[in-house]
Structure 1
Amino acid sequence: MKSTLLSASNVNVRFPGNQLFNSLNFQLQNNKHWAITGKSGAGKSILLQVLAGNIGLNGGSIEYHFLENINKEGQPVNPQQFIAFAGSKHHFKNLSNTADLYYQQRFNSSDSEDALVVRDYLQMVKINRHKPSYWTIDKAIDALNLTHLADKQIIKLSNGETKRLMIAAALIKNPLILLLDNPMTGLDVNTRAYFNKLFIDIAASGINIIMATSPRELPDVITDVVVLENGEIKTSSDKATFIAEDYATEPEITIDTDALTKLTAGNAAAHTYSKIVDMRNVHIQYGDKVILDGINWQINPGERWALLGPNGAGKSTLLSLINGDNPQAYANDIVLFDRKRGSGESIWDIKSKIGFVSPELYQYFPTDNSCLQVIESGYYDTLGLFRPSVKSRADLALEWMKALEIDKYARHLLKNIPASAQRLCLLARALIKNPALLIFDEPCQGLDDHQQQHFKAVTDAVCRISNVTLIYVTHYQHEIPDSVSKVLKLEKGKTI
């Protein structure tokens, strides 16, 4: 096989109002495995999409040299057959393939029956007939630890489980090139260690890997590292000479405490509850599968909790009981904001007191609103703004954007800004109404070092100057805000 598999030459990519790449050049050699890193918004994910053929070029070209070894009879061959992409968002459809799945569907047993199970989803993957099928469905299921999930509806998978499914689907294509967008984010410590070994096995099967990742998380399989900055390649080097600390610095964080004090004014006076959450012996089960077993949790006003546990431990299900999304709350002894579930309160009564963000919400959030509209929708707990904007609330949305350093995107459509900025918009959406309870489920996914540290400082400042209650979920110890003083840890649906 030729040494050079593909080459991107003088690539130009433009989005509305934004020149992303200008004369970018990149080559992939056989048996080389690249990490693409850089600050948020540098173009890492877009470069993967370009190489995958999912985004058109405004200039330049991409040559797929590997086709010269395959297309010996002169028949046209689509290069995308040999490239598999596992991105940060899935595009799951219902059983009839006519509509996208939606967020609350994952918690409703009757609605979720309209979703494929894991094995059926993998059986629909188109296999590359031009290449031997080393990665069979069974091998991929085993390698990605999906055996016990093979008959589970894909809508019910946790964030980490969904990531494993998407990588399994990419492997089943038996590609020559595997493109991975931040494959380690959202994974617990043990799974990240396992993935490190898995990538070596993938490379040994003849697959060349290119992944967007943090400079702090370079798997052992990586041979070369490219650093993007403002849509250009700043440096390109082999891994042995790459110094992560040069690109993973944590700049001094400056927080406008006065501005945050104004934004959170009235929080303590507006929320006077004896208990924010009081759940006793909570049990959640779907069919024969027990998700939560005997959970007792009391959260008092002003407390700040970390909710921890490995992927699939039951954290998202537990949060869905608090956030009003899970109908099984009615069958359990749960009190929210001093009111027992099932005593006449509506889901909207509950949501009006909570600011919530999660990887799953990000996954299903519509992206056709402007960023200001997305944030203003937090007042109404809707997935987007479906009513005329109110100027005072739009102004407040802009102030929250300034607090999170994303105000330059105010008038942009959510879908046209970097994924990291999209996530920060959803965080602003959670904060805007000054809720009694903030639920931040893996809020720092996709954020670079500065964004993570800045958001952590904002969270601590909000906790310091208001009486807000906080539940914070993460797989990374360094992300936990200093204001967190209590921990609930789950494993296999039980408190440990």
Structure 2
Amino acid sequence: MRSLGFSVGQVARLSCVADDLLIAPTEADRETVALGKEKQRSAAWEAHEKIMRTAKMLRLDRPPPASDVAGVRKHEQSTALLHTPLIRLSNGQMRRARLMDALVRCSSVPGSASNSAQAGPGALLVLSQPYNGLDAPTRSLLSDILQERHAARDPRILLFLRAQDEVPDFITHVTFIDQDGRVRAGEREEMLDVMRRQANSDAHAQGSYALVKQLATSKRNEPSLGQSSAPLVKFTNVGVKYAGKMALDEINFEVHPSTRMVLVGDNGSGKSTLLSLILGDHPQSFSIPSDRISLFGAPRSAPSNATLLLARRIGHVSPELFNAFPRKDSERGGLTVGQAIGSGFEGVFSRRALNEEQRERVWSMLALFDDVIGSQTDEMQSAPLTKRFTNECAAPTAAMLPFDPRSANALDAAKKLSKQSFSSLSLGSQSIVLLLRAAISNPALLILDEPFQHQNSHQVGRCRDFLDSSAPHSALYQIHAGQATRDAFAIGKTAEERERDALQRRSAAIIVVSHYESEWPQSISSLIRLDAGRVVERLGN
């Protein structure tokens, strides 16, 4: 309502102005004043009804918790999420709220204070990657809404999508920009054929539920050293309640070293709450008894789990972190690419002085991704790592990558890239840098919440290869003479250093959240599915 120029509810109260939905002429008001107030109130209610209709289409009209009903006005009782504090919305719910705001504001509301800024029928609505963070049912729902609005020219729709994203049925024309910056445009079917040929030329093997289920039941996923070790995370009958509503209900699960897990569920199913408990960000993580939640063998309140210490043990990527990460230009005091990655050693959002070993690790990590982040040379052209892997490779070196990451040229390019401003990168490249930030210190646990948002297919493929290469049952990781000698992404100057790095990467536990099955790493061998705060499916150990 505020973006439409109306002050209602708490906004009106805090601004000490009349609630536009409740304006009523008094006896002291006469013709002009009363008429103006009545017009304002009518316009406010028209805007309110438009919000309600759009909220229903986007499933933002769920009823409030029973304990809150008494405190909610009659016209608000079916719109709880609209009156939920933003901090309590999950990533998917926040995305839906922003989409609703865009759809509502794209048509005019007569009488609103900001009417001149509103669009009318025939306007153009531009949405960049609108399907990011949405579960499959909501993606389908959004396509139906956009198709209906586009057909009615209220408004016209222009979408910016990644090449690997599904193009909605209502789209009639496509403009395709390939990896080399070449632009082609044409009718839908013609351009989809071009895109399919491009995808087939550099396709990675896709993840899937079927593959997870296969790995979960295969002999290769029998209990290993990680399963016999003490759990990094242990939940026993954990429940979290908000204002009388269960956000998590009787959750039981363990995360052991070497675990490769995917956490799935529709928007609002409890995934964000569960991850916030593991990260120690949730306020209730301190009050839940130690026999219910154990982080690295101790309760959240233990000195060993102090916030700064916990941040060093857990690497973390999420849409919220992506949005909050500082993006001031480096010339104005912002972070460079190298400083952004280096901040992961301490788990902070600011630059830290790095020792020589840490700087070299940052450069070595960047060298593995330079061709999909920034500069490209003839030696460094993107290619699926799976196409480069052969069983004849004797060591985890250049033969497994489309270039030699330890060559002088690669390291020089990485050093140059490390000095570039983080804010100058594309969103996809920023996403990769934040993934490297999470992994730079080889943490015991990696939590990757929608880690591939904004990335193109080449970038997603390289990041999945990076995650898969350390898994014992992955095609990118081979055991030779009992040693982990085939991790193509292991870092170190000597074979011994690379071996140590490979073993550390292998022992790390990884939890991935992604609504796109095709983007799940192929090494995922366990799954937990949430629905309304409860575990409804479990695969693997």
Tell me whether 1:180 sits opposite 2:127 in the alignment. Answer: yes
Q: Which residue in the other structure is 2:484 paired with?
A: none
Q: Give the letter aligned to residue 198 of structure 1.
A: I
Q: Secondary structure at the match of 2:258?
A: coil
Say whether the 8 Å CA contact 1:225–1:237 is kept in structure 2. Answer: yes
Say whether the 8 Å CA contact 2:374–2:425 is kept in structure 1. Answer: no
Tell me whether 1:347 sits opposite 2:307 in the alignment. Answer: yes
Q: Which residue in the other structure is 2:340 paired with?
A: 374
Tell me whether 1:195 sits opposite 2:142 in the alignment. Answer: yes
Q: Which residue in the other structure is 1:43 paired with?
A: none
Q: Secondary structure at the match of 2:522?
A: coil
Say whether the 8 Å CA contact 1:452–1:479 is kept in structure 2. Answer: yes
Q: Which stretches of structure 1, 4 residues or longer, exceed 6 Å deviation after superposition?
A: 132-135
Return the offset for 1:389. Answer: 4.1
Q: Which residue in the other structure is 1:383 paired with?
A: 349
- Residues of 1 paired with 2:142 and 2:201: CA distance? 26
Say whether the 8 Å CA contact 2:280–2:300 is kept in structure 1. Answer: no
Q: Secondary structure at the match of 1:147?
A: coil
Which one of 440, 443, 457 corresponds to residue 451 of structure 2? Answer: 443
Return the offset for 1:178. Answer: 0.4
- Residues of 1 paired with 2:160 and 2:180: CA distance? 14
**1:250–1:318 CA distance, 2 compared to 1 (3 A):** farther
Return the offset for 1:303. Answer: 1.5
Return the offset for 1:154. Answer: 1.4
**1:491–1:252 CA distance, 2 compared to 1 (3 A):** closer
- Residues of 2 paired with 1:378 and 1:347: CA distance? 14
More helix as a share of residues? 2
Q: Which residue in the other structure is 2:248 paired with?
A: 292
Tell me whether 1:210 sits opposite 2:153 in the alignment. Answer: no
Return the offset for 1:231. Answer: 8.7
Matches within 5 A, 1:111-150: 136-148=50-62, 149-150=81-82
More strand as a share of residues? 1
Q: Give the letter aligned to residue 442 of structure 1.
A: E
Q: Give the letter aligned to residue 287 of structure 2.
A: A
Return the offset for 1:238. Answer: 1.0
- Residues of 2 paired with 1:186 and 1:457: CA distance? 22
Say whether the 8 Å CA contact 1:294–1:494 is kept in structure 2. Answer: yes
Which one of 269, 272, 277 corresponds to residue 313 of structure 1? Answer: 269
Q: Which residue in the other structure is 1:109 paired with?
A: none
Matches within 5 A, 1:87-166: 136-148=50-62, 149-166=81-98
Q: Which residue in the other structure is 1:331 paired with?
A: 287
Larger displacement relative to structure 2 (286-295 or 223-232): 223-232
Return the offset for 1:491. Answer: 0.7
Say whether the 8 Å CA contact 1:275–1:337 is kept in structure 2. Answer: yes
Say whether the 8 Å CA contact 1:373–1:394 is kept in structure 2. Answer: no
Say whether the 8 Å CA contact 2:445–2:509 is kept in structure 1. Answer: yes
Q: How many residues align?
A: 358
Q: Give the letter aligned to residue 237 of structure 1.
A: G
- Residues of 1 paired with 2:137 and 2:531: CA distance? 13
Q: Give the letter aligned to residue 324 of structure 1.
A: G
Which one of 502, 510, 522 corresponds to residue 470 of structure 1? Answer: 510
Q: Which residue in the other structure is 1:360 paired with?
A: 320
- Residues of 1 paired with 2:180 and 2:201: CA distance? 21
Q: Which residue in the other structure is 1:483 paired with?
A: 523
**1:145–1:178 CA distance, 2 compared to 1 (3 A):** same
Say whether the 8 Å CA contact 2:374–2:429 is kept in structure 1. Answer: no
**Superposition RMSD on alpha carbons, in Å?**
3.1
- Residues of 2 paired with 1:336 and 1:221: CA distance? 48
- Residues of 2 paired with 1:352 and 1:273: CA distance? 20
Q: Give the letter aligned to residue 295 of structure 1.
A: I
Q: Secondary structure at the match of 1:199?
A: helix
**1:486–1:375 CA distance, 2 compared to 1 (3 A):** same
Q: Give the letter aligned to residue 141 of structure 1.
A: A
Unaligned residue ranges in structure 1 (runs of 5+)? 1-80, 83-94, 97-113, 115-119, 121-128, 255-268
Cα displacement string for residues 379-428 of structure 1 (whole angstroms, at most 9, x for unaligned residues): 0111232x334343232112212223336442222221100000000000
Say whether the 8 Å CA contact 2:124–2:158 is kept in structure 1. Answer: yes
Say whether the 8 Å CA contact 2:239–2:250 is kept in structure 1. Answer: yes
Cα displacement string for residues 297-341 of structure 1 (whole angstroms, at most 9, x for unaligned residues): 111221211111111111111011111111211222200111122
Q: Which residue in the other structure is 2:230 paired with?
A: 274
Which one of 145, 169, 172 corresponds to residue 223 of structure 1? Answer: 172
Say whether the 8 Å CA contact 1:301–1:467 is kept in structure 2. Answer: yes
Q: Secondary structure at the match of 1:293?
A: strand
**1:133–1:353 CA distance, 2 compared to 1 (3 A):** closer
Q: Which residue in the other structure is 2:196 paired with?
A: 245
Tell me whether 1:455 sits opposite 2:369 in the alignment. Answer: no
Return the offset for 1:251. Answer: 2.1
- Residues of 2 paired with 1:326 and 1:463: CA distance? 30
Return the offset for 1:294. Answer: 0.8
Q: Give the letter aligned to residue 212 of structure 1.
A: F
Q: Which residue in the other structure is 2:368 paired with?
A: 403
Q: Secondary structure at the match of 2:199?
A: coil
**1:349–1:273 CA distance, 2 compared to 1 (3 A):** farther
Say whether the 8 Å CA contact 1:356–1:439 is kept in structure 2. Answer: yes
Larger displacement relative to structure 2 (294-303 or 394-403): 394-403
Return the offset for 1:483. Answer: 1.7
Q: TM-score of the superposition, structure 1-length normalised?
A: 0.67
Cα displacement string for residues 65-86 of structure 1 (whole angstroms, at most 9, x for unaligned residues): xxxxxxxxxxxxxxxx99xxxx
- Residues of 2 paired with 1:247 and 1:396: CA distance? 34
Return the offset for 1:230. Answer: 6.8
Q: Secondary structure at the match of 1:160?
A: helix
Q: Secondary structure at the match of 2:507?
A: coil
Cα displacement string for residues 78-106 of structure 1 (whole angstroms, at most 9, x for unaligned residues): xxx99xxxxxxxxxxxx99xxxxxxxxxx
Which one of 178, 183, 206 corresponds to residue 234 of structure 1? Answer: 183
Larger displacement relative to structure 2 (139-148 or 434-443): 139-148
Tell me whether 1:428 sits opposite 2:436 in the alignment. Answer: yes
Say whether the 8 Å CA contact 1:250–1:450 is kept in structure 2. Answer: no
Return the offset for 1:133. Answer: 7.2
Say whether the 8 Å CA contact 1:250–1:453 is kept in structure 2. Answer: no
- Residues of 1 paired with 2:271 and 2:84: CA distance? 17
Return the offset for 1:223. Answer: 1.1
Q: TM-score of the superposition, structure 2-length normalised?
A: 0.61
